[in-house]
Amino acid sequence: MNFELNEEHKMIQKMVYDFARKEIMPIIKEHDRNHTFPHKLLPKMAEQGFLGVCLPVRYGGAGMDYISLGIVSEGLEWADSSTRETIAVHLGLHALPVFQWGTEEQKERFLPPLATGKNIACFGLTEPGAGSDVAGIASRARKEGDHYILNGEKMWITLADVADRFLVFAKTDPEKGARGITAFILERGWSGLTTGSIEGKMGVHASNTGWINMDEVPVPESHRLGEEGEGFKIAMTALDNARYGVAAGSVGIMKCCLEESVKYAHDRKTFGKPIAEYQLVQQMIAMMQQRIDIGELLVRKAGWLKNQGIRNTRETSAAKWYCTEAAFDCASDAIQVHGAYGYSDEYNVERHLRNSKSAVIYEGTSQIHQLMQAAYALGMRQDKPLRCELPAYDPEIWQAEA
């Protein structure tokens, strides 16, 4: 097995880290302090191809593979979680499900504006009374002629007040539980569709988080994604994509925390010598490096499986679970290395600690992933074939013009 990145991967790695240093780092502290979304970054991210990095060229994407998606996620979150969240939601939770489950007409219609940043998209699954319990959603959709009428509320939705398009889930047959959920693509400006922002978050201040309210929203049948009753499958496959990005982004947090801790440990002197010479500081540095090495391997394995078109729910879950917990631990240790200065927002490690806590909650809490891994190990859970698998990466097809 070859663990070295190929030339395309190295190119995009350099591109995204250069972008993070040049475009994100100079502005992110101000946006974090003011709790404002960096709207000006979106066209710049689109120009670099990040918003459609692993979508085929014929749909406006960059035509790169899923490992590249992981590299972009890592580099963006090395700077700040808010920009990586945009990729995970816009691309992983919305565009990729359209690519996987949409009709050819839907892909040709919806994907190019998403890949080029003309439209920004989000994903509405969580509700005030339904988070980990997806089957417990209360949103409803009833069929009337060639339209569906949607009612319900979504909560804790990233990009809710920024997005132009919304992939939402509602029950078309409540008696069937999870098998009665259907997916729909909504557009801003439709009658009965309103959004708002949530204030007072602990971290990820530069990202928009909000709610979506649907009051008798008419949705054309052409905007239904997949068949009736396939919404749960679509949501779970979307989460596989987003969890992969979360895991990769968490590696970016760990790398930033290690870099800043190493620099500070060499610069900071106590009792006449750099704190890098103290064994307990070295222990924290060593643990950061170990977590990075393990996290990279887990993420790379999940990305490789995606490239092969192989179902990777277990592997992606393991990567998300480990990397998010490890990122929080790295950020906590980084603050300890920095001492009182680490408690100040003058240093990036303070922001990474606040941001990293959110990732152990969203896209499945650590406890949910722990239960999933136990079920796989005990033989109590097995992944069944889907009607639509995530397409395997084929450079000749992905990079071909329409």
Q: What is the 3-state secondary structure (H, E, C) of 244-311?
A: HHHHHHHHHHHHHHHHHHHHHHHHCEECCEEHHHCHHHHHHHHHHHHHHHHHHHHHHHHHHHHHHCCC
Q: How does residue 1 score in pLDDT terms, banded at 50, 70 and 90?
A: low
Percent of the chain whose predicted confidence (pLDDT) is above 70: 100
Query: What residue has token string 């309210």?
Result: 213
Indicate the average pLDDT of the chain.
Answer: 96
pLDDT score, position 132: 85
pLDDT exceeds cutoff 70 at 78: yes
Among 363, 389, 396, 401, the one annotated catalytic: 363
Active-site residue flag, 228: no
Residue 343 has pLDDT above 90, yes or no: yes
CA distance 128 to 121: 21
Confidence bin at 98 (pLDDT 50/70/90): very high
The pLDDT confidence band at residue 2, using thresholds 50, 70 and 90, is: confident
Which residues in 197-221 are b (16+ Cβ under 10 Å) and which e? eeeeeebbbbbbbbbbbbeebbbee
* pLDDT reading at 26 higher than 90: yes
Query: Would the pLDDT of 179 be above 90?
Result: yes
For 244-256, give one letter per residue: b (16+ CB within 10 A) or e: bbbbbbbbbbbbb
Match 């359209």 to its residue by tokens. 98
Lowest mean pLDDT across 91-95, 173-177, 383-387? 383-387
- Please say if the pLDDT value at position 401 is more than 90: no
**Considering the entire predicted model, what is its pTM?**
0.96
| 365 has a pLDDT exceeding 70 | yes
What would the pLDDT profile of 207-234 be if each residue is shown by its tens digit?
Answer: 999 999 999 999 999 999 999 999 999 9
CA distances 204 to 6, 32, 210, 243, 250, Å, are 32, 7, 13, 17, 13
The pLDDT confidence band at residue 384, using thresholds 50, 70 and 90, is confident
CA distance linking residue 53 with residue 46, whole number of Å: 9
Give all domains of the chain, ordered by start, each with its CATH number: 7-119 (1.10.540.10), 122-231 (2.40.110.10), 239-394 (1.20.140.10)
Phi and psi at 308, nearest 5°, equal -85, -10
pLDDT at 304: 95
